[in-house]
Amino acid sequence: MVAALSRWSARRWVAAALGAIGSGLLIALVTAMIDNPVFGRAVPTTWWAWPVLAISSVLSGLLLASYVRDPGVTVDEHVTRSGGIGGLLTVFAVGCPVCNKLVLLALGSAGAMQWFAPVQPFLGIAALALLAWGLRTRLRGEVACPVTAAVATE
């Protein structure tokens, strides 16, 4: 993975930084980890939600940047869904357990606190694992099977 990252251009690193900031802000605003007038939170943010958010944001930014092409270079277009699933799991992991409408419909407010809240740290771990796996898969494709652009000769 380090070999692939060492070959990245400034364009990809900028995309990674913007992707990390964007995904972190989006998740933090939607889950009301950052106070905002649109979304509310009935249960305070847990201590472990902040590191999960930070790590998932960095992984999401790097994963997003792996899809940015540099001019003149083509890469294997292997697409993984683990990044999207990992991002969604991050929202469920760091979100308020009683503010999640799906959880409330399935378990009710007492069930959300009794059954869903204790599972959230494991959802966070699963989210980070899926994001890391998706990034690893993308970066291995860049190193293991590099594809160069064909030059037309006439």
Query: Domain residue spans in the chain?
Result: 2-147
Find all residues with CB under 8 Å of 102, minimum gap 6, and list them: none
What pLDDT shows up at residue 31?
92
Task: Decide: pTM greater than 0.75.
Answer: yes
- On average, the pLDDT of the chain sits at 86
Handedness of CA 34, 112, 23, 124 (dihedral sign): positive
Instruction: Report the relative pairing of strands 73-74 and 147-148 from DSSP bridges.
Output: antiparallel
Span 15-43, mean pLDDT?
93
In this prediction, residue 122 carries a pLDDT of: 96
pLDDT higher than threshold 90 for residue 59: yes
Kindly tell me if the per-residue pLDDT of 134 is higher than 80.
yes
Q: b/e per residue, 34-50, with b = 16+ CB within 10 A?
A: eeeeebebeeebbeebe
Helix axes 49-65, 10-30, angle to 10 degrees: 140
Q: Which two tokens stand for residue 46?
A: 């847990």
54 pLDDT tier (thresholds 50, 70, 90): very high
For residue 93, give the 3-state DSSP assignment.
helix
How far apart CA 89 and CA 151 sit, in angstroms, is 43
Say what percent of the chain tops pLDDT 70: 86
User: What pLDDT shows up at residue 1?
Assistant: 75
Condensed to tens digits (0 to 9), the pLDDT of residues 61-118 reads 999 998 888 776 555 555 667 788 898 899 989 988 888 888 888 888 888 889 989 9
List of residues 6+ apart from 25 with CB closer than 8 A? 34
